[in-house]
Amino acid sequence: MSKDRWAAVDRYIGESLVRQGPALEAALKDSAAAGLPPINVSPAQGKFLHILARSLGARRILEVGTLGGYSTIWLASALPRGGRLISLELEKRHAEIAAKNLARAGLADSVEIRVGKAIESLPKLLAEKEGPFDLVFLDADKKGNPDYFKWALKLSREGTVIIVDNVVRDGAVIDASSKDESIRGVRKLNRVISSEDRVIATTLQTVGVKGYDGFTIALVSKE
């Protein structure tokens, strides 16, 4: 089974079920034109995030890693009136492109992008009494995930769902001696999660247009 076939099936899913609208298409087009790396979630994954947010009735969403705002649009368009999404992004240029993409999608009023290192922005959110968030999506630098997850927990309540992207990486996650910072980040994240009584979690492996990877879904089950 090849990556070509996974990608072809993703295209089929895109045409048959996902059918992203013009705002999402334009966001991808403009992100590519601006030279942003094509590492956004796939359309099928984006719609999964959207459905998850809606089924949770999420009113407050936190995202770490905005890029051009593609996943942000999927998530923010799931919010009810008055709902809010805060997205943290290191690169000012990425945030500017995302802001334009969000404005075109009619979501400028519900989304706030904060530029800076996530590890500095997260404590500020807590200090400002932002949260608790109903849904958190961790998708920035993978090395930071163990720390981002700890902050996400502080910004959570019982019932909060935390999704972490890119946790399988072609299966490299099983290599305990990996020198790759991203893999080490995933393995450390899993130790953090498994030592946390408040959280239940699992990982789903995925294939598709982005290759072989996966995401972790964690539920904060106790205060």
Q: Which residues bind ligand DHB (CB under 6 A)?
A: 39, 139, 165-166
How far is 25 from 20, CA to CA, in rounded Å? 7
Per CB under 5 A, does 89 bind Mg ion?
no
Task: Rule CB under 6 A: say whether 65 interacts with ligand SAH.
Answer: yes
Distances (CA, A) of 28 to 55, 150, 181, 210: 26, 31, 28, 14
Q: Which stretch binds Mg ion (CB under 5 A): 49-57, 128-136, 165-173, 197-205?
A: 165-173
- The listed partner (ligand DHB, Mg ion, ligand SAH, none) that binds 88, CB under 5 to 8 Å by sort, is ligand SAH
Backbone region of residue 133 per phi and psi (left: phi > 0; alpha: psi in -120 to 50; beta: other values) = beta
The residue among 140 and 199 lying less far from ligand SAH, judged by its C-beta, is 140
Query: Contacts with ligand SAH in 133-192 (CB under 6 A)?
Result: 139-141, 144
Of residues 10 and 139, the one with the C-beta less far from ligand DHB: 139
Q: Nearest CA to 105 among 73, 64, 153?
A: 73
- How far apart CA 159 and CA 155 sit, in angstroms, is 12
Region of residue 166 (left: phi > 0; alpha: psi -120 to 50; beta: else): left
Tokens of residue 78, six digits: 């799931």
**Residue from 42, 66, 145, 166 binding Mg ion (CB under 5 A):** 166
Asked if 30 interacts with ligand SAH (CB under 6 A), we say no
Residue 94 interacts with, from ligand DHB, ligand SAH, Mg ion, none (CB under 5-8 Å by kind): ligand SAH
Q: What's the DSSP call for residue 69?
A: S
Question: What letter represents residue 28's amino acid?
Answer: L
Q: Footprint of Mg ion on residues 101-140 (CB under 5 A)?
A: 139
How many chain residues are in contact with ligand SAH, going by CB under 6 A? 19
> Counting contacts by CB under 6 A, is residue 75 touching ligand SAH?
no
Q: Is 82 left (phi over 0), alpha (psi -120 to 50) or beta?
A: left
Q: Under the rule (CB under 6 A), what is the footprint of ligand SAH?
A: 39-41, 65-67, 70-71, 88-91, 94, 117-118, 139-141, 144
Q: Under the rule (CB under 5 A), what is the footprint of Mg ion?
A: 139, 165-166
